Chain A
Amino acid sequence: MTWEWGVIWEYLPRLMDGAWLTLELVFVSGLMGLALAVPLALARSSANRWVSALPFAYIFFFRGTPLLVQIFLIYYGASQFAVVKESFLWPILKEPYWCAIIAFTLNTAAYSAELFRGAIQAIPGGELEAAQAMGMSRPLMIRRIVLPRAFGIALPAYGNEMVLMLKGSALASTITLLDLTGMARTIIARTYTPLEMFMAAGVVYLLIGAALIGLFRFLEYRFNRYQYYKHTPLPANIDPQLRDEHIDS
Chain B
Amino acid sequence: MDLQGFGHLLISGAWVTVQLALASLAVGLVFGLMGAAAKLSPYRALRALATFYTTVVRGIPELLLVLTLYFGGSQLLMWFMGWFGYDEYIEIGPFIAGVGALSIAFGAYATEVFRMALLAIPKGQWESAYAFGMSPLLTFFRIIMPQLWRLAIPGLGNLFQVLLKDTALVSVVGLNELMRQAYVASGSTKEPFTFYMAAACIYLGLTVLATLTTQWLERRADPAGRGARI
Binding site for B on A (CB under 8 A): 1, 60-61, 64-70, 72-73, 76-81, 163, 166-171, 173-174, 181, 184-185, 188, 194-195, 198-199, 201-202, 205-206, 209-210
Given known contacts A78-B193, A194-B72, A195-B72, A69 and B200 CB-to-CB distance under 8 angstroms? yes
| B14 part of interface (Cβ distance < 8 Å) | no
Q: Could you say which residues of chain A place their CB within 8 Å of the CB of B167? A: 66
Q: Could you say which residues of chain B place their CB within 8 Å of the CB of A201? A: 64
Contact with A along B16-57 (1 / 0, CB 8 A): 000000000000000000000000000000000000000110
Residue of A nearest to B199 (CB): A69
Contact between chains at B193 and A210 (CB < 8 Å): no
Within the assembled complex, what's the spacing in Å between the Cα atoms of A72 and B193? 8
| B9 part of interface (Cβ distance < 8 Å) | no
In the complex, which residues 158-197 of chain B have their Cβ closer than 8 Å to any Cβ of chain A?
Answer: 165-169, 171-172, 179, 182-183, 186, 190-194, 196-197
Candidates B60, B63, B207; contact of A173 at CB < 8 Å: B63
Which 3 interchain pairs have the tightest Cβ spacing? A77-B193, A170-B61, A66-B168
Contact between chains at A73 and B67 (CB < 8 Å): no
Within the assembled complex, what's the spacing in Å between the Cα atoms of A171 and B170? 12
Binding site for A on B (CB under 8 A): 55-56, 59-64, 67-68, 71-72, 75-76, 78-79, 82, 165-169, 171-172, 179, 182-183, 186, 190-194, 196-197, 199-200, 203-204, 207-208
Within the assembled complex, what's the spacing in Å between the Cα atoms of A167 and B203? 20
Residue of A nearest to B71 (CB): A194
Q: Could you say which residues of chain B place their CB within 8 Å of the CB of A174? A: 63, 172
Within the assembled complex, what's the spacing in Å between the Cα atoms of A70 and B197? 9
Q: Could you say which residues of chain B place their CB within 8 Å of the CB of A79? A: 192
Chain A proximity of B95: nearest CB distance (Å): 18
Within the assembled complex, what's the spacing in Å between the Cα atoms of A205 and B207? 28
Q: Could you say which residues of chain B place their CB within 8 Å of the CB of A169? A: 61
Contact between chains at A195 and B166 (CB < 8 Å): no
Contact between chains at B75 and A66 (CB < 8 Å): no
Contact between chains at A73 and B200 (CB < 8 Å): yes
Chain B proximity of A96: nearest CB distance (Å): 14
Most buried by A among B62, B68, B191: B68
Contact between chains at B68 and A194 (CB < 8 Å): yes
Candidates A68, A181, A198; contact of B171 at CB < 8 Å: A68
Contact between chains at B196 and A61 (CB < 8 Å): no
Q: Could you say which residues of chain A place their CB within 8 Å of the CB of B60? A: 167, 202, 205-206
Contact between chains at A188 and B71 (CB < 8 Å): yes
Most buried by A among B166, B169, B193, B194: B193
Chain B proximity of A12: nearest CB distance (Å): 17
Within the assembled complex, what's the spacing in Å between the Cα atoms of A183 and B96? 25
Starting from the known contacts A73-B196, A206-B55, 20 additional A-B residue pairs (CB-CB under 8 Å) come to A61-B204, A64-B208, A69-B168, A69-B182, A69-B203, A77-B193, A80-B193, A163-B59, A167-B60, A167-B62, A170-B63, A173-B63, A181-B67, A198-B64, A198-B67, A198-B72, A202-B64, A206-B56, A206-B59, A206-B60
Within the assembled complex, what's the spacing in Å between the Cα atoms of A205 and B171? 22
Chain B proximity of A158: nearest CB distance (Å): 17
Candidates B56, B186, B190, B207; contact of A64 at CB < 8 Å: B207
Contact between chains at A198 and B68 (CB < 8 Å): yes
